[in-house]
Amino acid sequence: GAVVSQHPSWVICKSGTSVKIECRSLDFQATTMFWYRQFPKQSLMLMATSNEGSKATYEQGVEKDKFLINHASLTLSTLTVTSAHPEDSSFYICSARTAGSGNTIYFGEGSWLTVV
Does the protein bind other proteins through residue 11 (CB under 8 A)? no
- Tell me, what amino acid is at 50? S
**Residues near other proteins (CB under 8 A), total:** 22
Instruction: Determine which residue in the list 3, 12, 26, 46 makes contact with other proteins, applying CB under 8 A.
Output: 46
Query: Do the Cβ atoms of 25 and 96 come closer than 8 Å?
Result: yes
SS3 content of the chain, % helix, strand, coil (to 5): 5, 55, 45
CA-based torsion, 112, 90, 55, 1: positive or negative: positive
- Stretch of 15-23, 68-76, 82-90, 94-102 contacting other proteins, by CB under 8 A: 94-102
Looking at beta carbons only, is 7 or 82 nearer to other proteins?
A: 7
- Stretch of 12-20, 43-51, 62-70, 80-88 contacting other proteins, by CB under 8 A: 43-51
